Amino acid sequence: MLLETKLPIRYILTRIKPDIIRVLLISIVFQGLKTYFGANLPLIPLQLPAILGSSISLLLAFKISQSYDRWWEARKLWGSLVNDSRTLVLQTKSFVKRDFLLPGPESPLHAMAHRQIAWCYCLGDSLRGQNPVPELQKHLPQRELRYLESHTNKSLALLDLHSEQIKELYEQEAINAFQQVQLDSTIVRLCDAMGGAERIKNTVFPVTYRLLVHCFIYLFLLTLSLGLVETIGLWEIPVLLAVASTFFLLERTARYLQDPFNNKPTDTPVTAIARTVEINLKQLLQASEIPAPLVAESFYLL
């Protein structure tokens, strides 16, 4: 997530450099063509690039609005994941009989909460294509780590362990039948949030639209360049450059928002959110060592 304050120019430049260079080359070529073949080129009326310009705007409006929706949906899913992590621990505290709620790492409450913390980190790492094992080792006992080894979808396997523990609690009569079902409903919601994030990660935004936006932008540049043939001379180059770069930057911004789990500065800040969950859950357990919230080192928070 980009932060409000300090967006370095260099970051923006790096993102649009290839586009700028391409447009620069194109406008130089156009300039050359017009110098040598000026007489044979048509005098395109400026209404034509105006029509294309409004088509580009509408297409970009569609793209930025849909990518924003994807990005916001990703954020909402991670928000509901925070809520249900808190709910899971509140419910475990409230449902499990006091005899079973001894302090210390043997207690089912301690196990559930730490497994839930591990789950948040694990899901974030998996979505970003990183290895979740190092984080898991911090929060899980050996026995559970061994169980996870054979699973490719480790977040799902952690939910399986949650379910297994809820089953044991019911068998030991630490919770009653309604409470088991209510806890299970929380697991269902966690499973939904996980699946939703995976869906956003794995679904490619229809690529044809990017192609069409680019196609429209180049057509626009071409007709604009021909339309300006007699009026502004060499000034055309900076004009084309400025307008085209803004369009390209807009398209690229939308494209980055579309994929919020790519280990980029525009990502949903999954690690920071997992840290928030860790702090919340440990305070609910009244743990002694609470980690500090993740702070941004630069202009973004991951």
Q: Could you say which residues in the range 69-128 bind a second copy, by CB under 8 A?
A: 71, 75-76, 79-80, 82-83, 86-87, 90-91, 93-95, 98
Nearer to a second copy, 65 or 130 (CB): 65
Q: How many CB atoms lie within 10 A of CB 195?
A: 12
Residues 239-298 that bind a second copy (CB under 8 A): 239, 242-243, 246-247, 249-250, 253, 257, 266, 279-280, 283-284, 286
Which of 102, 175, 172, 114 has its CA nearest to residue 143?
114
Residues forming a β-bridge with 2 = 300
**Shortest distance (Å) from residue 114 CB to a second copy:** 18
Residue 300 phi/psi, 5-degree rounding, is -145, 165
**Shortest distance (Å) from residue 131 CB to a second copy:** 18
Residues 219-248 that bind a second copy (CB under 8 A): 219, 223-224, 227-228, 231-233, 235, 239, 242-243, 246-247
**Shortest distance (Å) from residue 95 CB to a second copy:** 8
Give CA angle at 159 (176, 285), nearest 5°: 65
DSSP 273-286: HHHHHHHHHHHHTT
CA distances (Å), origin 267, targets 136, 189, 227: 22, 23, 41
**Helix 142-149 with 154-171: angle, nearest 10 deg:** 130
Residues 140-159 that bind a second copy (CB under 8 A): 150-153, 156-157, 159
Among the residue ranges 25-33, 49-57, 102-110, 121-129, the one whose residues contact a second copy (CB under 8 A):
49-57
- Round to whole Å and give the CA distance between 152 and 160: 13
Q: How far is CA 297 from the centre of its chain?
A: 19
- Round to whole Å and give the CA distance between 82 and 95: 20
**Shortest distance (Å) from residue 135 CB to a second copy:** 21
Find the binder of a second copy among 7, 25, 28, 29 (CB under 8 A).
7
Find the binder of a second copy among 31, 55, 107, 262 (CB under 8 A).
55
Find the binder of a second copy among 110, 133, 184, 229 (CB under 8 A).
184
**Shortest distance (Å) from residue 210 CB to a second copy:** 9
CB within 8 A of 275, min separation 6: which ones? Answer: 291, 293, 294
Binding to a second copy by residue 42, rule CB under 8 A?
yes
Find out whether 274 and 117 touch, Cβ atoms under 8 Å: yes
Find out whether 19 and 214 touch, Cβ atoms under 8 Å: no
Binding to a second copy by residue 163, rule CB under 8 A?
yes
3-state SS class at 2: strand
Nearer to a second copy, 77 or 140 (CB): 77
Nearer to a second copy, 2 or 22 (CB): 2
Among the residue ranges 1-9, 17-25, 125-133, 135-143, the one whose residues contact a second copy (CB under 8 A):
1-9
